[in-house]
Amino acid sequence: MSVVILDFGSQYTRLIARRIRELHAYSVILPGRATVEEISRHNPQAVILSGGPASVLQPGAPQPDERLFDLNLPILGICYGMQYLVRRFGGRITPTGTREYGRAHLIQCDGPLFGGLEGGDLQVWMSHSDAVADLPLGWRGTARTEGNPIAAVESPDKRMFGIQFHPEVAHTLQGKLILANFLRVASVPLDWTPEHTLERLISEVQERTDGGRKRVLLAVSGGVDSSTLALLLTRVGIEHTAVFVDHGLLRLNEREEVEQALLPLGVNLVSVGASKRFVSALAGISDPEEKRKVIGREFIAVFREKALKLGPFHFLAQGTLYPDVIESAGSEGSASIKSHHNVGGLPDDIGFELLEPFRYLFKDEVRELAALLGLPEELRMRHPFPGPGLAIRIIGEITPERLGILREADSIFISSLKEAGLYNQVWQALTVLTPVRSVGVVGDERRYGYILALRAVTSVDGMTADWSRLPHEFLDQVAARITRNIPQIGRVVYDITSKPPATIEWE
């Protein structure tokens, strides 16, 4: 059973899904206008209506399929979702004239949604410009703030709830308990554990591959996602060939490291050298979306060629994760952030059925599966590395010279983190080669070198991230080491932008 989250464009919708899973319930995000048939396919036990930038007072404001209410499911409306519920059942919403954004305090709260929190002085996070003026018949307010007399509501049968604030964000200090109370009231099973997930995935993979008789061509990058999938297929006994494509956009010595890590695990691994092919296909291309699409196209071409030699294969398996799907596809009222080469970057006709067992998992969930499967810790906790590789860490055109510069700079940064004992304290670290040059002085001579950006972030799943507060002394040493060893780089800067508003990668 699942908690279906209907997304009306809130920047926090992904966090709702995360918090529900952290409470050991399975959650899935669907567009706000998803049909009842689409919702029912996920066997919902409860529904959450997200916030969003629209006003329920606007003509054509987004709303769920009206038949949703015939399912008699427990429903929680957050912000816009609460206002929709109130209006849908006969209440009145009015504009406030100002936008309430930021911290607020509940000075009174009660009811099942606030079990263990009754009373007041609970810090919450608001983000709205409309408010509830009148409640539907029989409904009651269950929380208020100094400036908002109706900050939470519940229906007479206590099957529907609404809250004006966002319990999913860290600024709402007891938000997770409020969500836990909703799950309890809705009788949602709390069985979303790594062990249960692994059991379910094994069953699904066996069923889709007809007990392992339909052969699988697996795309391996050396990262934790595809490595875990390779180990899963190996442990379950699915007939497969794992193909590692050396596309010339890899980090220093990456091919050798991948082979040394996976072959001892029993993975049926084949490496393909295709550096000239990819770098040639990317010549003259500066647009990041076009880079991703070219790389996706060339990946599929390589896999097709290997399938002709080693096949036949029924499936192409990938370690695609939920954040890849979310960022590539966008959602109701929200934008597509960027095409991931393995999702939005794939051509329409790939010639295989896709097998993506991790498509609805976050990276930390995959790492938990990896531990159960026995993936070595060095691989399990390896920093994420994008499928397009260094191509999206070079701003502008890809050239062999720029690849060489960035590859060496990346090696210095990562090795320095490991030597200083900082590697496992950050979620992802990377270097970005910009097309900008600046004047510098080396000895008594003028240097006109590239500007290189260092980026390191802390995160749980990559959906949100904060920049890592690395020691200044360490950054000073890395910058000196890079500029001393790579004469083409004249200046090193450190990216201190969180996600949002930025993404982790620059392209």
So which residues are the catalytic ones?
Answer: 79, 166, 168
Residues 444-453: pLDDT tens digits? 677 789 999 9
- Terminus-to-terminus CA distance in the chain, angstroms? 37
Q: Which two tokens stand for residue 223?
A: 């990262």
Q: In one letter, which amino acid is 165?
A: F
CATH placement of domain 2-185? 3.40.50.880
Q: Residue 54: left if φ>0, alpha if ψ -120 to 50, beta else—which one?
A: beta
Q: What is the overall mean pLDDT for the chain?
A: 89
Q: Distance (Å, rounded) from C-alpha 456 to C-alpha 467?
A: 6
pTM: 0.73
Count Cα neighbours of 376 within 13 Å in the Cβ-side half-sphere.
14
- Strand stretches in 61-172, DSSP E: 75-78, 92-109, 122-134, 140-145, 152-154, 160-163
* 393-494: CATH topology: GMP Synthetase; Chain A, domain 3 (3.30.300)
Question: For the chain, what percentages of helix, strand and coil (3-state, to nearest 5) are there?
Answer: 35, 25, 40
Q: Which two tokens stand for residue 486?
A: 């790579």
Q: Which residues are CB-contacts of 236 (< 8 A; sequence separation ≥ 6)? A: 202, 205, 206, 212
Is a pLDDT exceeding 70 seen at residue 291? yes
The reported pLDDT for the residue numbered 446 is 72
The least confident of 86-95, 102-111, 392-401 is 102-111
Q: Distance (Å, rounded) from C-alpha 97 to C-alpha 162?
A: 21
The reported pLDDT for the residue numbered 337 is 40
* Closest by Cα among 149, 131, 153 to 140: 153
Q: Decide if 504 contacts 462 (C-beta within 8 A).
A: yes
Give the helix/strand (H/E) hosting 262.
helix 254-262
**Percent of the chain clearing pLDDT 90 (strictly above):** 65
pLDDT band at 35 (very low <50, low <70, confident <90, very high): very high
pLDDT band at 339 (very low <50, low <70, confident <90, very high): very low
The CATH 3.30.300.10 portion of the chain extends over 393-494
pLDDT band at 475 (very low <50, low <70, confident <90, very high): very high
**Residue 62 CA to its chain's centroid (Å):** 24
Is a pLDDT exceeding 60 seen at residue 255? yes
The CATH 3.40.50.880 portion of the chain extends over 2-185
Q: Which residues are CB-contacts of 256 (< 8 A; sequence separation ≥ 6)? A: none
Place of tokens 């969500």: 179
Is a pLDDT exceeding 70 seen at residue 350? no
Residues 357-387: pLDDT tens digits? 999 898 889 999 999 999 988 889 989 888 8
Residues 156-191: pLDDT tens digits? 999 999 999 999 987 888 899 999 999 999 999 999
Q: Which two tokens stand for residue 63?
A: 């709303």
Residues 54-75: pLDDT tens digits? 999 999 999 999 999 999 999 9
The CATH number for 194-380, chosen from 3.30.110.30, 3.40.50.620, 3.30.530.20, 3.40.50.720, is: 3.40.50.620
Q: Distance (Å, rounded) from C-alpha 438 to C-alpha 444?
A: 16
Q: Decide if 208 contacts 354 (C-beta within 8 A).
A: no
